Chain A
Amino acid sequence: MAKRPLNRRDFLRTAAVAGGATAFPAVLRLRPSWAAGNSVPVGSLLDKTGGINIYGLPAIAATEYAVAELNAKGGLLGKQLELIQYDTQSDIANFPKFAKKLILEDQVVVIHGGITSASRESFRPVIDEYKQLYFYNIIYEGGVCDKYVFVTGETPTQQMGPLAKYALKKYGTKAYTVAADYNFGHISWKWWDIFWRNGGGLEPVAGGKRGQHVGKVEFIPLDVTDFNATINRIQEAKPDVLMSFLVGGAHINFYRQFAAAGLKNKIPIISTTFGFGNEHIVLDAKEVEGLVACYPYFDEVDNPQNRAFKAAMKKKMNNPNYYIGDAGAESYNGWNFWAKAVQKAGSFDREPVTKALETGIEWDSPMGRVKMDPASHHVIFTMHLAAVNNKHGWNVIESFPNIPPTETMQLCDLIKNPNQHTQYQPK
């Protein structure tokens, strides 16, 4: 490679790039300590770009709306909320980095965020090291038990009870399971194994049918797009119902290929994950109509708070067909749980807010009635069973109030043992 003689043009060119890049910190504002001013910084770590943004974008939209709504009502404790968001770009390495930034530089009083369990676990050590208040607002595999962390996402047991009972009643006792091959899939399977064999509970359900598993549970890596062999194995096992814990963009193709093999009307599907990524909008009705899922929130749930919430979000997004989804609703709820605790505690500091949350805050959200369980730091929901309809939406079948996260509550009591910073899983 011949070396060109350096001239001033070369240097200026490279210096401009290097100089410009290193001058950036000067451009960013230096944040003063917030106690003096009349705004208080709050932080959000969500993926605005990259593959995870199908969950990130609705969560961001709901976050912005929740904070704006609080500010419009006068803020909290007389101060306006200053929302500082960082786009973690679907890259797990960004979570600890920006969490440290929010804590050390921006000095936020609370962090909401994290989407995949991997992203949450990647910066929970940072949360613990700096004793930062943190809300995790997404469905996940359950079991987080951390004094500084509050979870407003649903856990498997909240979904599996209603789903198991419904499937046993309507479809039969033989189930085949496919799951995403990572922690969420593995832990979900463990809980599902217990729930299905017990007929819908952590303990055997009295007077109910018991389920059984046919074939062997299949764990499918997240990047597999071709499910040919899996579909053939399902046919071989002849189940009454298929339980799906599949996650992500690549796994959407399973439903399409399943329908292409002519199985949609032969084997019904239930799932704890379908719909969270708006799969029902992407897929056609003739591919997934009739699939049953169980979430604390569907846009189709009807109550006064949800009607107002939907109208406001449609206006904000300037799209009359905007679909909020569970991720959005949970983020909204997370911020409002925090806000109510701050008002009850009369302070933004972590310990009084934690105490306030541990008195069991309960309110009417767009999801319906929700209550924060004091000991486990998780939320007791009204769960809704719904089936995919032929209009890219859901038909709500039945609603179950007061479904607690039993698996986490069994293992985690942060009032009796406050000094825990861990995650539990089934035996």
Chain B
Amino acid sequence: MSLDTAVIMALEILNSITILVLLALGLALIFGMMRIVNLAQGEFFTAGAFTVLTAVRYAHLPLWIGMLLAPCVVAGIGIAIEWLIIRRLYGRPLDVMLATWGVSLLLIGLITVIFGAVTQGIPFALGNFAVGRYSYPEYRIVMTTVAAGLMLSVYLLFRYTGFGRRARATIANPEMASAAGINTPRMFMLTFGLGAGLAGAAGAIMAPIVGVVPTMGVLYIARAFITVVVGGPVVLLGTLSSASALGFIEALISRFPLFRIETAGHCAPPPCEISIGGSAFFGQIALLIFAILLLRLLPQGISGFWRQRE
């Protein structure tokens, strides 16, 4: 394999991991940390993308302002949902799942009512750079940078700020935190809002590359959950390790066929063969199967396993 192909492959793996990190980060907070099975997470993602779309297409603001607006708007939506619905359902995990699923359908319906069901595009003016005989879009590097930046921000926020300390305390032990004077309902609300805002940011940053359509969240929610579940309860470490493992597998299997099976039947050109691997489809399947295997081996997720060993 030539050097430029190897570099391109490394970039593909990096891209896979980036997308999984973006999808999973907000949910890692909401589900990984707060244990809320939020099936509306995909719609937070969608809302972020639509905020950027509105800003750019209808309000004619520059792209970067739209991108900054998106997490704020979606955090607001998240806070509203927590206050109206999730708050009443703490301690009933399955009911939360169903209620957020209902919210997800309502949000999709609402967004479709406002914007219509057509896929729309966000124009952007970034170029591409050469890697040997390939050219690779610069925007994907930007995405990776933003993903890293988001993770860094979350780390700094939770480690070094008062809010972060209070949030961690509340989630670790709500009664103790409340006894110590922390406003626990407000902490839950704000943390949920933060998780929503992160999803909004992810949706915003991915919007120019993927189309903006009301049902876009549906495509991502499954992978987001799988990444978070495999990652385990520790937000950053879990998300990063899980996204790396799963993204690596997905990129690899999308690239290389594992083996080919010849079958009887008519094919053009012959022979008929089923190739296991080497396509986007098998990349997805590999991700799912690998996730199931990981869960079977490490039921607490990757970071849960590490935590247990300490």
Contacts and interface: CB of A to CB of B under 8 A. Distances in A.
Interface of A: 49-51, 53-54, 181, 190, 193-194, 216, 218-221, 223-230, 232, 235-236, 249-250, 252-253, 256-257, 260-263, 278, 282-284, 286-287, 426-427
Nearest to A218: B279
A250 B219 contact: yes
Contacts of B251: 229
A253 B209 contact: yes
Contacts of A229: 12, 251, 254-255, 280, 283
A282 B268 contact: no
A253 B280 CA distance: 15
Nearest to A251: B211
A296 to B, nearest CB: 23
B153 interface: no
Given A232-B8, A235-B133, A225 B118 contact: no
Interface in B7-59: 8, 12, 15, 19
Interface in B259-283: 266, 268-269, 278-281, 283
9 contacts: A224-B280, A229-B251, A249-B211, A253-B211, A260-B209, A262-B127, A282-B119, A283-B121, A286-B123
A225 B126 contact: no
A184 to B, nearest CB: 16
Interface residues of B, number: 41
B211 A235 contact: no
B299 interface: no
**10 shortest A-B CB distances, which residue pairs?**
A262-B128, A260-B137, A262-B135, A225-B210, A249-B119, A224-B280, A235-B134, A221-B281, A229-B254, A261-B137
B211 A54 contact: no
Contact of B284 (A221, A282, A283, A286): A221
Contacts of A426: 268
Interface in B120-134: 120-121, 123, 126-128, 133-134
Contact of B219 (A220, A225, A256, A284): A225
Nearest to A52: B117
Nearest to B255: A229
Nearest to B210: A225
Contacts of A218: 279-280
Contacts of A253: 209-211
A249 B269 contact: no
A256 B121 contact: yes
A226 B208 CA distance: 12
A259 B257 CA distance: 27
A249 B209 contact: no
B209 A257 contact: yes
A261 B136 contact: yes
Max chain B Cβ within 10 angstroms of own Cβ: one of A260, A284, A286, A427: A260
Nearest to B280: A224
Contacts of B161: none
Contacts of B121: 252, 256, 282-284, 287
A226 B210 contact: yes
B178 interface: no
Interface string B182-216: 00000000000000000000000000111101011
A284 B8 CA distance: 27
A221 B139 CA distance: 24
A284 B137 contact: no
Nearest to A284: B123
Contacts of A286: 123
A282 B118 contact: yes
Contacts of A283: 121
A56 to B, nearest CB: 10
B89 to A, nearest CB: 12
A260 B211 contact: no
Contacts of B266: 427
Contact of B117 (A54, A220, A223, A252): A54
A53 B116 CA distance: 11
Contacts of A263: 135
A223 B135 contact: no
A54 B119 CA distance: 9
Contacts of B269: 193
A257 B215 CA distance: 20
A219 B215 CA distance: 22
A258 to B, nearest CB: 10
A252 B119 contact: yes
B209 A219 contact: no
Contact of B134 (A54, A220, A236, A427): A236
A251 to B, nearest CB: 9
Contacts of B140: 228
Contacts of A278: 118
Contacts of B19: 226
Contacts of B219: 223, 225, 250
Max chain A Cβ within 10 angstroms of own Cβ: one of B278, B279, B281: B279
B145 interface: no
A260 B278 CA distance: 23
A425 to B, nearest CB: 10
A426 B219 CA distance: 33
A6 B137 CA distance: 63
A190 to B, nearest CB: 5
B5 A236 contact: yes
A391 to B, nearest CB: 15
A253 B120 CA distance: 10
A260 B126 contact: yes
B128 A261 contact: yes
B53 to A, nearest CB: 12
A354 B84 CA distance: 60
Nearest to B132: A235
Interface in B236-271: 251, 254-255, 266, 268-269
A194 B269 CA distance: 10
A193 to B, nearest CB: 5
B279 A225 contact: no
Contact of A225 (B15, B136, B137, B211): B211
Given A226-B15, A263-B135, A220 B8 contact: no
A54 B112 CA distance: 13
Contacts of A220: 279-281
A384 B208 CA distance: 32
A51 B215 contact: yes
B114 to A, nearest CB: 15
Contacts of A235: 133-135
A256 B119 CA distance: 12
